[in-house]
């Protein structure tokens, strides 16, 4: 019987687990070959300034174009990559690919905007993280202020260690945003000590914001707190005009979500957003 370690050290049995396990073993061996076979793709989701419709950045989101299963989302394979250590190789590849693409866009006259790249917990705590980010920036020639690293509260369980990593990243000039903000456990007293630039309000607070007064209150509070802490703030998962209006009424003007654009391939981004006189426009 397949057993899994439960939260409090209890063992529990789930009938779905065997199937899940076998699936993952198959995926794991495929994932080992995915990079060399060029099956990983980076999509880019544009971020906008709501009033001006100006594009202010893109988030790099990895996908796996699996030979038989089609396009797989990171939710399926990033956890496997984390468990097997493949995350280092994948993470490095995504970082360099995203920096290469953004530098290319800058060189071709595209908007001078940053690219955000998600870091996994393992990557964040990797001893040579800063070293290899510097190496990637040198190799791709992307200026460091155009690379934004997305980390989450759950990675910062040891505040002293986290602060020293963040300070090193600050020194090399990259920007840092706190992703999925509001879903972790970071204490507010540490928040002011973390040398970060931006809070990304998690989608879970946005989904029902039109009907749910509690969500609306939480979002308004996060926005106001960000302003007081002099942090930028962006909302993710905006899908409707109604949600957009509530955010802008509460003074959050940076928006990411299907309402403006879903994540797109690099060439789709160019076709849709880099053509002058086409809306939404940039600069
Ligand atoms: P995330 O960093 O919070 O990324 C936002 C996710 O929300 C993306 O899902 C995006 O497609 C989705 N999204 C954006 N706007 C909307 C919207 O309006 N409505 C809805 N329902 N969803 C929206 P995706 O691409 O499936 O990525 C899921 C997660 O996988 C990411 O969450 C991130 O934590 C992780 N991930 C993605 N790429 C990488 C990567 O290169 N490295 C690492 N370590 N993690 C990654
Ligand atoms: Mg993210
Ligand atoms: Mg997020
Ligand atoms: Mg999220």
Q: Residue 277: its pLDDT value, please?
A: 46
* C-beta 94 within 6 A of ligand 1: yes
Range with lowest mean pLDDT among 2-6, 25-29, 141-145, 250-254: 2-6
Mean pLDDT of all residues belonging to the chain: 90
Of 155, 153, 199, 203, the C-alpha closest to 175 is 199
Tell me if ipTM is over 0.95: yes
Q: Is the CB of 237 under 6 A from ligand 1?
A: yes
Does residue 223 have a pLDDT over 90?
A: yes
Q: Is the CB of residue 263 below 6 angstroms from any atom belonging to ligand 1? A: yes
Q: What is the pLDDT of residues 152-185, one digit of tens each?
A: 998 988 889 999 999 999 999 999 999 999 888 7
| Closest approach atom of ligand 1 to CA 82 | 44
pLDDT band at 38 (very low <50, low <70, confident <90, very high): very high
pLDDT at 24: 74
pTM for the full predicted model: 0.91
Q: Which ligand minimizes its atom distance to the CA of 149?
A: 2
Encode pLDDT of 55-97 as tens digits.
Answer: 999 999 999 999 999 999 999 999 999 999 999 999 999 999 9
Q: Among candidates 93, 82, 84, which has minimal Cα distance to 124?
A: 82
């Amino acid at each position: 019987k397949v057993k899994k370690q439960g939260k409090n050290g209890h063992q529990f049995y789930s009938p779905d687990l065997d199937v899940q396990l076998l699936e993952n073993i198959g995926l794991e061996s495929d994932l080992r070959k995915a990079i060399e076979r060029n099956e990983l793709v980076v999509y880019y989701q544009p971020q906008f300034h709501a009033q001006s419709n100006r594009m202010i950045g893109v988030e790099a989101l990895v996908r796996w174009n699996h030979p038989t299963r089609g396009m797989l989302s990171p939710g399926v394979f990033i956890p496997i990559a984390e468990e097997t250590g493949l995350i280092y190789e994948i993470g490095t590849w995504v970082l360099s690919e995203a920096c290469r693409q953004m530098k290319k866009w800058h060189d071709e006259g595209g908007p001078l905007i940053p690219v955000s790249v998600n870091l996994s917990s393992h990557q964040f705590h990797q001893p040579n993280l800063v070293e290899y980010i510097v190496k990637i920036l040198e190799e791709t020639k992307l200026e460091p202020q155009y690379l934004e690293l997305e980390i989450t509260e759950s990675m910062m369980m040891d505040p002293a260690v986290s602060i020293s990593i963040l300070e090193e990243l600050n020194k090399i000039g990259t920007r840092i945003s706190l992703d999925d903000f509001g879903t972790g456990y970071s204490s507010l007293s540490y928040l002011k000590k973390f040398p970060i630039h931006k809070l990304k309000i998690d989608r879970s607070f946005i989904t029902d914001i039109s009907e749910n007064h509690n969500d609306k209150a939480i979002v308004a509070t996060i926005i106001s707190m960000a302003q007081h802490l002099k942090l930028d703030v962006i909302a993710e998962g905006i899908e409707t005009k109604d949600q957009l209006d509530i955010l802008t009424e509460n003074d959050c003007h940076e928006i990411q979500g299907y309402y403006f654009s879903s994540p797109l391939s690099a060439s789709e981004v160019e076709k849709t957003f880099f053509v002058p006189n086409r809306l939404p426009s940039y600069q």
